[in-house]
A and B are shown apart, each in its own frame.
Chain A
Amino acid sequence: DQQVKQNSPSLSVQEGRISILNCDYTNSMFDYFLWYKKYPAEGPTFLISISSIKDKNEDGRFTVFLNKSAKHLSLHIVPSQPGDSAVYFCAATYNFNKFYFGSGTKLNVKP
């Protein structure tokens, strides 16, 4: 039962351009959404989050957009840098008791 889906396994972007990573969810009870970044041989690192009462949250080069009616969120990285190359996971939770992760999108930022 995949409640959080990332349908793009990989994304390749030129340095300096925008990276857009997408995520869809099925459970309308989710009240908090998070993005994590993972490098090989390391655990995921928290990147940015958004509450279900908001539709946008920005932190430096990273912005997360939430469209509740479409049950869709996206992560925008502007400008993209080679160091951003990693696997990105979106996650969702309700009451912070259980967290559901997508399968990840591997981002490659080309110099």
Chain B
Amino acid sequence: DAGVTQSPTHLIKTRGQHVTLRCSPISGHKSVSWYQQVLGQGPQFIFQYYEKEERGRGNFPDRFSARQFPNYSSELNVNALLLGDSALYLCASSFVTEEQFFGPGTRLTVL
């Protein structure tokens, strides 16, 4: 069975640019969550979507947005990139329950 997949694996952008990260959940999973992990810290919750509706939002500025598609895949968009947005972005999917399955992440570098 395919796990959670994320694309791209690595990304380099410059300040002020916009970025779109993509996530495909495990087949059958209807919930997708996004996290930002800065080096040396734990994952910080950004968004959770369930059945295409936003269920939860972390403490991130409006530059961060996300959406979930009918096939349950998801995109995370970040506008007006800052140097501090450089991080590993993790996507996790779950069926309904608390057990989340994480993808390998997208490493974003902002120069």
Q: Which residues of A contact B (CB under 8 A)?
A: 1, 4, 6, 32, 34, 36, 41-46, 49, 89, 91, 93, 96-104
Assess whether A104 is in contact with B99, with CB atoms less than 8 Å apart. Answer: no
Q: Could you write out 23 A-B pairs with CB less than 8 Å apart?
A: A1-B59, A34-B98, A34-B99, A44-B43, A44-B90, A44-B102, A45-B102, A46-B100, A46-B101, A49-B99, A89-B42, A93-B98, A98-B45, A98-B48, A98-B57, A99-B35, A99-B45, A99-B48, A100-B45, A101-B44, A101-B45, A102-B42, A103-B42
Bound: A101/B58 CA distance, A: 12
B81 near A: Cβ within 8 Å? no
Bound: A44/B100 CA distance, A: 9
**What's the least CB distance linking A105 to chain B, in Å?**
10
Assess whether A43 is in contact with B105, with CB atoms less than 8 Å apart. Answer: yes
Bound: A104/B99 CA distance, A: 18
Assess whether B45 is in contact with A43, with CB atoms less than 8 Å apart. Answer: no
Bound: A101/B42 CA distance, A: 6
| A91: chain B residues within 8 A (beta carbon) | 42
B26 near A: Cβ within 8 Å? no
From B33, B44, B98, B104, contact of A42 by CB (8 A): B104
Assess whether A97 is in contact with B55, with CB atoms less than 8 Å apart. Answer: yes
| B56: chain A residues within 8 A (beta carbon) | 97-98
Which single residue of chain A is at the shortest CB-CB distance from B3? A43
Given contacts A43-B90, A43-B92, A93-B98, contact A98 B104 (CB under 8 A): no
Assess whether B41 is in contact with A46, with CB atoms less than 8 Å apart. Answer: no
| B104: chain A residues within 8 A (beta carbon) | 41-43
